[in-house]
Amino acid sequence: MTAQRTAPTEPKVLARAEWPAGDDDTLPRIAGFVVSDFNPLVAEVAERCLRAYYGTPPAPGDRGARTGVVLASVRGDVTTADTVAEALRAGRRVPPLLFFQSNPNAVVGHVTSRWGLAGPVVCTSPFGDPLADGVAVAELLIGDGAAAEVLVIAADLATDGDDRDFAVAVLVTGNTTAER
């Protein structure tokens, strides 16, 4: 038998956004999320990408219902994790709001409820290029019929070796004839 692997169809990019968009770019705060810039970073780059394609929220019902979200972050919300660890070391109370933002799904819930995106939600810690890996996960969702479009977000807070926080988002579709 001849070995044969099926190459996935590469999704088409409908829209793209990055944060920061310039040296003086800022992150708007979002209600209910505290301490860390991770969640505002994810929310803002998602907002920019979706606005670039849809204008104002929500997405049209038939599109939003079939749009999934993939959030890829190598290190995740290290600020929230470190804040909790430090509170425990110091014997201080852990702020209850940190519970809600302690996993990456929470901010995705903020984005999906605002924009009416009711497809699958997948969060990952990728080991290769975060955006490329996020798109690879999106390909699986589209190829399986679980979503027609996927908002892929790659976001990481700055580490000592980075200049600043960085995030990129792309809205992709399996429909290669879709209009930009």
Partner 1 sequence: MADPGTRSASARGTREPVVVSGIAVRSAAGSGPAALLARVCAGDAAFEPVTRFDTAQRRTTVAATMPGDPVLVDELAAVIEDACAEARLDPDPRADTPMLLAAHADRTNRATADVLARRTGLRTPARTYTAACVAATSAAADAATMIAAGRIDRAVVAAGYLVDPDTFALFDAGRTLARDGHVRPFSTGRQGMLLGDAAVAVVLESAAGAERRHVPSLARLAGWGRSGDAYHVCQPRPDGTGLARAIDAAIAQAGVAPAQIGYVNANGTGTVYSDRAESAALHRALGPDVRRIPVSSTKSVHGHALEASGLLELVLTVLALRAGRLPVNAGYLGPDDACELDVVVDEERATDTRYALTINAAFGGANTALLVGAP
Listed in sequence order, the residues at least 6 apart from 5 whose beta carbon sits closer than 8 Å to its beta carbon are none
Is the peptide bond prior to 58 cis by the omega test (within 30 degrees of 0)? yes
Site for partner 1 (CB under 8 A): how many residues? 63
Tell me the C-alpha distance between 109 and 32, whole Å. Answer: 12
From the list 16-24, 45-53, 74-82, 168-176, the region that binds partner 1 by CB under 8 A is: 74-82
Answer for which of 17, 42, 63, 115 binds partner 1 (CB under 8 A) is: 115
Instruction: Using alpha carbons, select from 59, 46, 57 the residue that is nearest to residue 17.
Output: 46
Residue 22 per-residue DSSP state: S
Angle of the 78-90 helix axis to the 38-54 helix axis, nearest 10: 160
Tell me the C-alpha distance between 41 and 36, whole Å. Answer: 9
Answer for which of 23, 91, 177, 179 binds partner 1 (CB under 8 A) is: 91
Is the peptide bond prior to 130 cis by the omega test (within 30 degrees of 0)? no
Over the window 7 to 46, marking each residue x when it contacts partner 1 by CB under 8 A and - when it does not, the resulting string is -x-----------------------x--------------
Answer for which of 53, 79, 105, 178 binds partner 1 (CB under 8 A) is: 105
Tell me the C-alpha distance between 154 and 160, whole Å. Answer: 19
Answer for which of 68, 131, 149, 153 binds partner 1 (CB under 8 A) is: 68
Answer for which of 85, 158, 162, 175 binds partner 1 (CB under 8 A) is: 85
Tell me the C-alpha distance between 180 and 176, whole Å. Answer: 10
119 binds partner 1, rule: CB under 8 A: yes
Asked if residues 124 and 68 have their Cβ atoms less than 8 Å apart, the reply is no
Which residues between 145 and 164 bind partner 1 (CB under 8 A)? Answer: 146
From the list 12-20, 46-54, 128-136, 163-171, the region that binds partner 1 by CB under 8 A is: 128-136
Binding site for partner 1 (CB under 8 A): 1, 3-6, 8, 32, 64, 68-69, 72-78, 81, 84-85, 87-88, 91, 93-96, 98-100, 102-110, 112-113, 115-128, 133, 136-137, 140-141, 143-144, 146
